[in-house]
């Protein structure tokens, strides 16, 4: 830590990148997560359904990364989702110790419906932004994620 004594009179928080990210994420998610809860799901459960809708048979490590929760917590969530009939767990045919998670028909129906609603919510948000902001937002976020963890961008 340097001990510079530069004047720092400008207000900090209101233009602080980490605040802006957290505030934008909270506000955007707050809108859609009301829909998630109205469908009887917790947020990580919705994220698991959306991930499996993309890649059925994912492993818990992959799901934990996209659901943004720790693997031990996600394992408990997956067990509960299995008990509710939303997913099933099966050993990988090539390595039985690896557990893969699959959507049930019930889980797939819910995932399909919610992903459709999420796409619509996102589309509405993006059209409300000015063209320049909408065009730059996702590329800038991808770049930031790559910067923060070069091996861990979502690849999108």
The least CB distance from residue 85 to a second copy, in Å, is: 22
Indicate whether 79 belongs to the interface with a second copy (CB under 8 A). no
Distance CA 63, CA 127 (A): 29
Where helices occur in 39-130 by DSSP H, the ranges are 43-54, 60-67, 71-83, 105-128
Signed CA dihedral, 71, 147, 20, 14: sign only: positive
**Both tokens assigned to 66:** 């996209």
The answer for residues whose C-beta is within 8 angstroms of residue 125's C-beta and 6 or more apart is 28
* 68 vs 79, beta carbon nearer a second copy: 68
Candidate segments 8-16, 72-80, 90-98, 99-107, binder of a second copy by CB under 8 A: 8-16
Residue from the set 12, 40, 97, 105 that interacts with a second copy by CB under 8 A: 12
Q: How far apart are CA 57 and CA 46, in angstroms?
A: 16
For a second copy, the binding residue among 75, 104, 108, 141 (CB under 8 A) is 141
Residues found near a second copy in the complex (CB under 8 A) = 1-2, 4, 8, 11-29, 31-32, 47, 50-51, 53-55, 66, 68, 113, 115-120, 122, 125-126, 128-130, 132-134, 136-145, 147-149, 152, 154-156
């Amino acid at each position: 830590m340097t001990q510079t004594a530069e004047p720092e009179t400008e207000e900090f928080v209101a233009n602080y990148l980490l605040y802006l990210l957290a505030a934008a994420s909270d506000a955007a998610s707050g809108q859609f997560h009301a829909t998630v809860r109205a469908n009887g799901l917790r947020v990580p459960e919705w994220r698991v359904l959306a991930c499996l809708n993309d890649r059925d048979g994912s492993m818990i490590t992959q799901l934990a990364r996209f659901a943004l929760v720790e693997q031990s917590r996600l394992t408990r969530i997956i067990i509960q989702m299995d008990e509710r009939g939303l997913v099933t767990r099966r050993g990988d045919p090539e390595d039985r110790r690896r557990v893969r998670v699959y959507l049930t028909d019930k889980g797939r129906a819910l995932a399909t419906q919610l992903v459709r609603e999420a796409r619509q919510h996102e589309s509405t948000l993006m059209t409300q932004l000015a063209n320049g902001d909408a065009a730059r937002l996702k590329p800038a976020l991808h770049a930031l994620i790559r910067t923060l963890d070069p091996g861990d961008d979502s690849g999108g």
